[in-house]
Amino acid sequence: MLVDEAIIHVRSGKGGDGAVHLRREKSIMKGGPDGGDGGRGGHVILVGDSHLDTLVEFQHRPHLFAKNGENGSKKSCHGADAPDLLVRVPLGSVVHDAETDEFVADIIEEGQQVIVAHGGRGGWGNERFKSATHQTPLESTPGGPQVERTLRIELKLIADIGFVGLPNAGKSTLLGKSTRANAKVGDYPFTTRKPQLGIAELPGDRRIVLADIPGLIEGASEGAGLGHDFLRHIERTKAIVHLVDLAPLDGSRPADNYRTIREELHAFSPILAEKPEIVVFSKVDLVADDERAKRVRRLATEIGLGKHEHPVVISAATGEGIRELLERCYALVKGEALPTEWRR
């Protein structure tokens, strides 16, 4: 299962120690100091990478250690600096110190680099300490210490498409059917307590990243329910899929449920509310066959869909309509024409 948060343990490299050595050559009986400096330890650097979608890699590789700098040696040879450890993360990664909760970085640009653990400085060899009055120093300094810390990375740009809707509109089931994700499913509110990610793969080596956003309720923009903690997760998605339950078990009216979510989106962020939206009528399998067309037409009219705005009617339980939905999502996100067989 893909995740939107990762804990990683990073450690920079220790600096190399400075060397103590006095030059000894056949023709020079009393040579001066020639101990070289140690090399710098490697930094740990986070690098923004637009080709990454998720933080799943860190589930399998949470410990990231840079190498130590080389020690100095005789003949004024300085130890080599260790290579920096470049850790690639998706754009939209927000980084905090896991122990202090201190903000570290917000990675938002391709190639952006942030040093999160500085390598130790190389120590000085005894050559550095010579002077007119101290011609054979035996002093040196050790390399600077490594830096070790635990970081929490939260992926704010979590998906191309975010699923929104009231609790139990069918978002988790849809995500599981559409992708390789394994979102928790239940028949009680707030089954999903944090966004779940999945990759939907389409013919022709195409894919989009989808997110099941925790259920919104009236007042969510003011912090009710799961509130701001999760509304913010859809701020950077490119579009939203708005699921409306055609047959809510609580007796509520689907049109009212649709308007509740739209009002919360407007209250939270006008920019968010203006994102492209695909309206999906879910759980059509719970509606009698002879009632489906009439109920779909009525609901589309009640929520104000225009003559050329067609909702996608699906059943995540049976798979009906899911391929059409994914094709529409892909075309919307990529700015491509919808395949002919899915046009209306």
Residue 242 β-bridge partners: 164, 279
Show pLDDT as tens, one digit a residue, over the chain (344 residues). Answer: 344 789 999 999 999 999 999 887 776 666 789 899 999 999 999 999 988 877 888 988 899 999 999 999 998 899 999 999 999 998 888 999 999 999 999 898 889 999 999 999 999 999 999 888 888 888 999 999 999 999 999 886 557 888 888 877 677 788 778 775 444 333 333 334 456 677 788 888 888 888 776 644 434 444 444 444 555 556 667 888 999 999 888 888 999 989 988 887 887 767 777 889 999 999 999 899 889 999 999 999 999 887 767 899 999 888 899 999 999 999 998 888 777 776 76
DSSP code per residue over 243-312? EEESS-TT---HHHHHHHHHHHHHHH-HHHHTS-EEEEEE-GGGS-HHHHHHHHHHHHHHTT--TT--PE
Cβ distance 96 to 152 under 8 Å? yes
Q: Give the pLDDT score at 157.
A: 52
Rounded to a whole number of angstroms, the CA Rg of the chain reads: 29
177-212 pLDDT tens trace? 877 544 433 333 333 445 667 778 888 888 888 877
Q: Give the pLDDT score at 182.
A: 44
What is the C-alpha to C-alpha distance for residues 74 and 109, in angstroms, rounded to an integer? 44
Burial of 304 by CB count in 10 Å (0-12 exposed, 13-18 middle, 19+ buried)? exposed
Domain boundaries, the chain: 5-155, 161-342
The reply to whether 5-155 and 161-342 are identical in fold is no
Residue 279 β-bridge partners: 242
- Nearest CA to 296 among 316, 317, 312, 276? 312
107-132 pLDDT tens trace? 988 899 999 999 999 999 999 998 88
Q: Give the pLDDT score at 224.
A: 42
| CATH code matching the domain that covers 161-342, chosen among 3.40.50.300, 1.10.10.60, 2.60.120.1600, 3.90.1150.10 | 3.40.50.300
Q: Give the pLDDT score at 184.
A: 39
Going across the sheet that includes 113-117, the strands are 85-90, 44-49, 113-117
So what's the architecture of 5-155 in CATH? Distorted Sandwich (2.70)
Beta strands 277-282 and 44-49, pairing class? unpaired
Q: Give the pLDDT score at 111.
A: 92
User: What are the phi and psi torsion angles at 75 (to 5°)?
Assistant: 60, 35
What is the C-alpha to C-alpha distance for residues 315 and 281, in angstroms, rounded to an integer? 9
Q: Give the pLDDT score at 194.
A: 54
Cβ distance 225 to 166 under 8 Å? no
Q: Give the pLDDT score at 158.
A: 56
